[in-house]
A = this chain, B = another copy of it.
């Protein structure tokens, strides 16, 4: 199916005659006739009945028309999604399972009219920041490990998420029935977080956290997927794992896993929005305002932050 033919069909359906369409599209009447004929041949049905005073739609034409319009709208959206200068706001969330993705979903609900593209660059802070600098993405969420004054000239960053943590344990774990736990309490228990590659920002964070409170956090180990991890935790009387409160899991009901807030102090994983100061995208302003308003709601409490927070 040829989109130019479809476009011509819609124009002809609106105009009622081929001549006007030809003028509007800056082609000859014969070309319009040919396009329509080709489309009809392609579809295997007649779309117009031709008369000496113009054309009108057949029943098939009537049926096809709304679909044709939708097809052209889809084309326009597809084009706009990547066309430099007017594409949707493109935000990197690092992972679709963590807090930034959840927050963006809220943003989308709050501003359904704003076109949003959520992507996962699969890159560390530095690569993501380079992508922002290059304009590949409009913004990214990351823990920023350097002071603001050491950022590249055009890059701005503000802390927008203080991700709290929960302990995930199965029903047989000693802490299974605790309402909250403190980091100090966790020193007696083994915490298992497979899949954190050394050198990543998350691994660094949990290393520093472990050192600060004398915890035992196993960051390595084979990764069989989150479901396997959760199943193992649910079964075990010793194993526990930590997760951000906004982390999304496939969480089968049958597991009976407990999510216990970690408090006093609450270890915080601080994440910033990173963007280019000279990015003129109007939706970027809206996103920043939204994130600021969200952050204002955070209650006061005793927290623990990594040295770079």
Contact = CB atoms under 8 A, between A and B. Distances in A.
Interface of A: 1-3, 6, 43-45, 58-60, 62-64, 67-68, 70-71, 74-75, 77-79, 81-84, 87-88, 90, 117, 119, 121, 131, 136-137
B90 A59 contact: yes
Given A59-B137, A119-B62, A1 B83 contact: no
Given A1-B75, A119-B59, A136-B59, A82 B70 contact: no
A68 to B, nearest CB: 6
Contacts of A3: 1-3
A63 B43 CA distance: 30
Given A43-B83, A74-B71, A59 B131 contact: yes
A81 B59 contact: no
A43 B82 contact: yes
Nearest to A59: B136
Contact of A1 (B45, B62, B78, B121): B78
Contacts of A75: 1, 71
A64 B78 contact: yes
Nearest to A90: B63
A63 B60 CA distance: 34
A119 B1 contact: no
A38 to B, nearest CB: 14
Nearest to A42: B79
A182 B101 CA distance: 64
Contacts of A2: 3
A90 B171 CA distance: 57
Contacts of A70: 74, 77-78
A138 to B, nearest CB: 11
Nearest to A70: B74
B63 A87 contact: yes
Given A63-B87, A71-B74, A43 B137 contact: no
A121 B83 contact: no
Contacts of A1: 3, 75, 78-79
A84 B45 CA distance: 8
Contacts of A67: 74, 77-78, 81
A119 B83 contact: no
A43 B119 CA distance: 19
B82 A64 contact: yes
Nearest to A92: B59
A71 B78 contact: yes
Given A63-B90, A71-B71, 16 more contacts: A1-B78, A1-B79, A43-B79, A43-B82, A43-B83, A44-B84, A45-B84, A59-B119, A62-B119, A63-B82, A64-B78, A64-B82, A67-B74, A67-B77, A70-B77, A71-B78
